[in-house]
């Protein structure tokens, strides 16, 4: 069931699927909730899945002013407070992963388990730091899909692309020490050929206090669509099961020793 909810200045569109514990999926930049089409059905068999679309994305209209990660995190917090009124599992992809991370830092009470797919914490981890943002190519690639659902119409898409292009000049940007504020059990998931380096993924894994790491082989930034069967299996295992006692812990044993 799709509907809208007013969250501050944003009339946020969202869909709901399934029953069970709440699970919120946060899409990446310049796409919408349809990005998760290969993942929704198996997740909705176990969870009440919420699919909000952020300002200027999908069915949610753009509003005046820049689009920043902090603004999107505030919008997401408003959505969680208004619609769910309590904690949920939160899974974010790309920009959605960094938004989820900011929410987990700012409002830990709203996060049960946290999954960050292909979203780094700082631009320094980019695999191709010299790659320029080609706004015209993005408009050509994604403009039609945007126009299919946006209340602003396809002609507005270059405006949103320009806002995201400006965002990408400076963000994401967090000090690695900030990740230690995350209290939720967390999963860091990347493709083995992603927009961020695997070194950056490991740095995230090391910095988060209660994290697990998954690298999906033979995939790119589109891993949720390229190998949905594997991504879905990893997500369901993480979201439905407790951690297993490992036989020969090294990293975790060192963390336990350091905290004792």
Mean pLDDT of the chain: 96
Q: Which residues pair with 47 in a beta bridge?
A: 21
Domain boundaries, the chain: 3-259
Tokens of 197: 């380096």
- My answer on whether omega of the bond before 148 falls inside 30° of 0, hence cis, is no
Whether the per-residue pLDDT at 258 is higher than 80: the answer is: no
Query: Strands 47-53, 10-17: parallel, antiparallel or unpaired by DSSP?
Result: antiparallel
DSSP-assigned letters across all residues of 198-218? HHHHHHHHHHSTTEEEEEETT
% of the chain exceeding 70 in pLDDT:
98
In CATH, the number for domain 3-259 is: 3.40.50.1820
pLDDT of residue 253: 79
34-65 pLDDT per residue, tens: 999 999 999 999 999 999 999 999 999 999 99
Neighbours of 213 (CB within 10 A): 17
Whether the per-residue pLDDT at 142 is higher than 80: the answer is: yes
Stated as kind and residue range, the H or E segment containing 147 is helix 135-149
Indicate if the alpha-carbon torsion angle 50, 55, 56, 60 is positive or negative.
Answer: positive
CA distance 95 to 28: 5
pLDDT of residue 256: 64
CA distance 125 to 200: 5
* Interval 126-132 mean pLDDT: 92
pLDDT of residue 232: 98
- Longest distance between any two alpha carbons in the chain, whole Å: 58
pLDDT of residue 259: 57
* Interval 181-203 mean pLDDT: 98
For 51-55, 182-186, 187-191, 249-253, which range has the lowest pLDDT when averaged over its residues? Answer: 249-253
pLDDT of residue 92: 98
71-125 pLDDT per residue, tens: 999 999 999 999 999 999 999 999 999 999 999 999 999 999 999 999 999 999 9
For 47-56, 62-71, 124-133, 141-150, which range has the lowest pLDDT when averaged over its residues? Answer: 124-133
Confidence tier at 257 by pLDDT (50, 70, 90) = low
């Amino acid at each position: 069931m799709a509907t809208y909810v007013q969250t501050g200045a944003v009339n946020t569109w969202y869909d709901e699927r399934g029953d069970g514990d709440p699970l919120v999926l946060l899409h990446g930049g310049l796409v919408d909730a349809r990005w998760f089409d290969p993942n929704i059905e198996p997740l909705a068999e176990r969870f009440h899945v919420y699919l909000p679309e952020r300002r200027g994305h999908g069915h949610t209209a753009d509003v005046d002013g820049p689009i920043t990660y902090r603004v999107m995190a505030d919008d997401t917090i408003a959505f969680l407070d208004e619609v769910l009124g309590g904690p949920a599992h939160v899974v974010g992809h790309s920009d959605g992963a960094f938004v989820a991370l900011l929410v987990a830092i700012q409002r830990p009470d709203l996060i049960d388990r946290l999954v960050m797919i292909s979203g780094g914490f700082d631009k320094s981890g980019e695999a191709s730091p010299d790659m320029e943002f080609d706004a015209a190519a993005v408009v050509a690639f994604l403009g039609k899909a945007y126009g299919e659902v946006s209340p602003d119409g396809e002609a507005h898409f270059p405006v949103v692309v320009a806002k995201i292009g400006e965002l990408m000049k400076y963000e994401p940007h967090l000090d690695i020490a900030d990740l230690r504020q995350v209290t939720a059990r967390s999963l860091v998931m990347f493709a083995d050929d992603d927009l961020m380096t695997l070194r950056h993924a490991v740095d995230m894994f090391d910095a988060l206090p209660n994290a697990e790491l998954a690298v999906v082989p033979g995939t790119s930034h589109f891993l949720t669509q390229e190998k949905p069967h594997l991504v879905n299996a990893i997500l369901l295992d993480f979201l439905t099961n407790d951690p297993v006692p490992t036989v020969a812990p090294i990293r975790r044993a060192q963390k336990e020793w350091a905290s004792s």
